[in-house]
Structure 1
Amino acid sequence: MFAELSSKAAELKDRLEAFMTAHVYPNEREILSESSRGEGRWNPHPVVAELKQKARAEGLWNLFYNHGPEGQGLSNYEYTHLCELLGRSLAAPEIFNCNAPDVGNMEILSTYGTEAQKQRWLKPLLDGEIRSCFAMTEPRVASSDATNIETSILRDGDDYVINGRKWWITGAMNSACKLAIVMGKSDTSAPKHQQQSMILVPMDAPGLTVMRPLSVYGYEHPPLGHAEVLFDNVRVPAENMLLGEGRGFEIAQGRLGPGRIHHCMRFIGLAERAIEIMCRRALSRTAFGSKFADMGGVRQVIGQCRVELEQARLVTLKAAWAMDRHGNKAARNDIAVAKIVVPTTAGQIIDRAIQVHGGGGLSEDFFLAEAFAETRFLRIGDGPDEVHREALARAELARHAETAH
C-alpha cells in the first residue's frame, strides 16, 4: 500500500527539515510565549512575519495546496510526511501558510468558490496577506450534531441577513483575520440536511462583533485565539453565498475530511518530538541513585509510546493513501479512524512525557503543556470521538446487515 516518496516530495522534506532546524526551533519559545505578548498579542508576531517571507522565498509555501500553481501539487500521502515535520512545533504551520483553519477555508474556496470569490478571498489567503476563520459551532446547542445549529442566513432582496452566536471560532481574534465562512440555516422547512448554507462574511461587516477570547486550559493561543462571535443583523451581498442555498452540509463534508487528516498528520510529529525529549530527559536525570533511563517503569513507558505512535502513524498514512486513490468521501471511514486514534494517542504520549519531566513539563519552558492542551482540544474539535465512533458503527452494521439472518 505504501510507496517511496517522489524525488520532489523527498527534496521538499529535506529542505523543510533544514528550515525547521535553522529557523523554527530556535524561535519557538519566543513565538509561542503568551506571557510576553501583552496587549499586542492578537497581532501577527513580527518573528513569524519574517520567517514567512523566508519560507516563501525558499519555495516552502502552501505545501498542502494541490489545486493550482500556488502550491506544490503533492498528493495527500506525500504531504503527510511533510505535515508531520510541520506538526513537531505548534509555531510551524503558520510560517509555511499551512495553518488551520485557513487550510480548510482555502480548500473550500478552491473547490466551491466562484471566480469572483476566489479573487477576493482565496488569492490573498494563498499569498498569506490575510487570515480567516470558520464559524459553525454554537454555544446554545450541541453542535456535534450540526443539524442543531440555529444561526439564520435569510434572503432579503439582493442580500442575506445573518443572525446568531458562534463560539470556538479559531483565528477570529487575529487582527489579520478578514473573512469568516459562516454556516447557518437558510430554510428550516427543507429536508434535515438541506436546511444549512455557508456564506462568506467580511470580519468588518456591520453587526459582526468578536465578543471575547476563549482559553483552552488557560491557553489563549495568540495571535489566532478561539473567539465567541455575535452576528446581529449582519448583511452581506447575495453573491457571498457559497455554492447555493441548502448546500452547507455538502461543503462541510468536503472541508472537514481533509482538515481532520491534516490535524492527525501534525499530531504525529508532535508526539514524535515528545518521545524524543522524553528520552533525552530520561538519559540526563537521576533520582534515588539511578538514571531515569535505567528505571524499568520509565523504559516500559517509552516502549509503549513507540508502539502506540507507530500504530497511529500507520492509520494516518492509510487514510491519506485512501483519499488519494478513492477520494475524500470514499475514505471517510479511514479518516474517522485516524481522527479517533491520533489525538488520543498523541495526548497520552505527551502526558507521559510531562510526567517524566516533572514540574518542568507543566511550565512554558517546554512545549509539552501547550501541546497537551492542543491534542485534548481536538478530541472535541472537528467532531468529537463519539460522533466518529457512531459513524463507523453504522458503516460496520450496514456492511454486515445482509448476512445477519
Structure 2
Amino acid sequence: MTLAVSTALATCAAALSACAATSNEDVSPPAPDPAPAPAPSDDSGAPADAGAPCTRDCEYFPPACSADVLCPNGLFDLAKPLGGPDHFDGRTTVHLVRGRSESDVWVVGALGAATRFDGTSWVRSEVPVTPESPQGHIPTLRTLWLRDDHEVGIAGFDQVYSRGLVDSPDAGAGGWTAGGAPVIAPKPPFDVGSQTVTYGWSAPGSEWFWLATAPLYPGQFAGPSGLIRLRGNATNGLTGEVAAMNLGTFAGLHGSSADELWAVGMDGAAVRVTGASGNSPSAKAYNSQTRNALYGVWAASPSDVWAVGFGGTIRHYTGAPYLWEIVPDIPEEMRLNAVFGSSASDIWAVGKDAVVLHYDGTRWSRMKIGGLGSRRPNLSTVWTSGPGHVWVGGEGVVLSLGGKP
C-alpha cells in the first residue's frame, strides 16, 4: 500500500519504507504548555506570515480556501493573535478534538482553552483555575469523556473537571466544575502520584473510561506506566483500577467496541486489551514491526486497525495472531501524531509540518490545506463524524473542509 497522489496531489518525491527507520523518539507526555511568544506582526496586528507567499510543498498549500480543501475555520483569528470572546489566542495549541456528532464537537487545548460547536456556532467554555491547581496554573485538558448528558475532562490525576454532571454554584462561566481526584485501587508497584495522563478513550455508551499514563517526571524512576480504567460512582466521583502495567508507555488508545481496545506508544508498543468492559480485562502485546514511537491508533473493526507514528510509520492490523502489517512508501520526514476515521474507507492521519493524509479504502493520499500562507503548524489531533465532516487541530489552528464550522 503506497501513498498515492493524483493530478491534484503531486507525487511525494522521497518515498521510503516505513520500517527503514531504526531510531525511535522518546515522547514523554507533554508538560503543561508555556505560552510561546506571539508571532511577529505587521501594523494590522496579524502574524507576519499570515499572508506570506508559499516557499515549500506549495502544491499542498494553495493560497486560498475552497470547498474541497482543508482551511482554517475561524476559531483562530489571525487579525487578533491575542484572542477574543469568539476565538482562541493564536498561541494556543489544540490538543484534542472530539465529538458526539457533526453538530456536537469539542475542541480543547492549552491553558484551559475549551469550546463546543453546537451545529451553528462555536461557544467558548474555558476550564476555570481552582485553588487545587498546582501554583494556580490554568489546567490543560488532555482528554475528554463525552457521556450522554455530561462531559468529564482530565488534565491529570489531581485535576479532574466535569460539566453538566452536578449543579454546582462553583462552576465557572463555561459550566466546568472541579472534582476530586479519582479513587484508584492500589496495585504496587504502580504509583499514581508519579504518573500523568497521556490519553483517554471510551466507547460510546460504555461505563468505563480508559487512560494511558507515563512518568510525571521523565528520567526519574517512577515505577511502571499503566493502563487505568475509571467509572462514575454514586457520589458523582470517579473510581478505578490499574488494568495493566509493565507493557510500555502509551500515547494513543482506541477500540471498535466497549469490549476491546488497542494501546500504542513508545518503541513501537502495540497492546490489545480484551474483555475491556468485563470484570477481568486481559492485555496482550503484538509485534508492530517497528521500534519507532506510535502516537495514534484507530480501529474500524477487530480486524481492521491503523496506527501511526514517528518517521512516516503507518501500521495496519488485519487480524493476524501476533503481527501488524507494514505500510510502505510513506516519507520518513512525516511524523504522524494522530489518526481517526468514520469507516474503513474514510480515515485521516495528521502530523508535523501541517501534513494531512487520507485513506479511501485503497490508498493513502496527501491532502491540501488552503489559507495557511507560509505557516506549517504541527497538527496534533483529528476527529471525523463522517465523510465531509472532519476537524483537525494543532498549533494555533483548527481546520475543516472548506473552513466550515
User: After TM superposition, is the score higher than 0.5?
Assistant: no
Higher relative contact order by CA 8 Å / sep ≥ 6: 1 or 2?
2
Range into which the TM-score falls when normalised by the shorter chain: under 0.3
Question: Which structure has more helix as a fraction of its residues?
Answer: 1
Structure 2-normalised TM-score?
0.25
Structure 1-normalised TM-score?
0.25
